[in-house]
Amino acid sequence: MAGASPASSKTVMITGVSRGLGKVLALELARRGHTIVGCARSLEKVQALQAEIAAVTPAGVAAQKHFFTDLDVSSDARVRELARILVDAKQVPDVLVNNAGTINKNKKLWEISPEEFDSVIDINIKGTANVLRHFLPLMIEKKQGIIVNMSSGWGRSTAAEVSPYCASKWAIEGLTRSVAKELPTGMAAVALNPGVVNTDMLASCFGNSASLYQSPESWAPKAATMILSLTADDNGASLTV
């Protein structure tokens, strides 16, 4: 895969970057010469990924430009601090991928503890809102930017025993369409269903059957190409990789 030219290289911020789709997307975009700003809750995993990213960054691209930190997006204060740091570092993202997410263990709604339900809502909905709250004004100031809020097939349909997750992803669809109406000309916010991919999250629902679906590694090139091709004309769209 050819890398990006210096003129076309973008700064891409990805939340939930330490595993699953966030990780493979970060690696794919770094291989193409784009600068990655990544965050996730696990410091150990973030540090390990930082080394992997440096190893795949093309020659001639400054690997030290990548920025990684441990961060729980459900903490508004921590997200606010990250935004301040990136402004100082002149690394306001061109593309923002709200990927951080979690799912409940398969249970009927009345069997799910309040704490588990709250965790799904706090990360999937409030976490996305926190990131948008602090980064959208910075991107609007630049008068450009693409926002990708990761949705799900279960943000457009439903299944039993994952009601908190379905509720959170339906919320992402509505949140994205509403925010899209608030953006200035030249920007776009889209809800992106990644499709069915064999991740730990899918395995928690499908068990061994998850292995029947595409791997994250085969998904990443398609997703990266699609995300990089988004324009202001896509504003408000609900898309699928």
Give the active site residues: 165
Tokens of 129: 């809102």
Among the listed residues 219, 132, 230, the one whose alpha carbon sits nearest the alpha carbon of residue 187:
230
C-alpha span between 22 and 100 (Å, rounded): 8
51-80 burial, b for 16+ CB within 10 Å, e for fewer?
A: eebeeebeeebebeebbbbebbbbbeebbe
Three-state secondary structure readout of 14-75: EECCCCHHHHHHHHHHHHCCCEEEEEECCHHHHHHHHHHHHHHCCCCCCHHHCEEEECCCCC
As a whole number of angstroms, the distance between CA 34 and CA 12 comes to: 7
Give the contacts of 126 (CB within 8 A, at least 6 positions apart): 74
Q: Residue 120, exposed/middle/buried by CB under 10 A (0-12, 13-18, 19+)? A: buried
Dihedral of CA atoms 177, 181, 185, 187 in degrees, nearest 10, equals -30
Give the C-alpha separation, 189 to 177, whole Å: 8
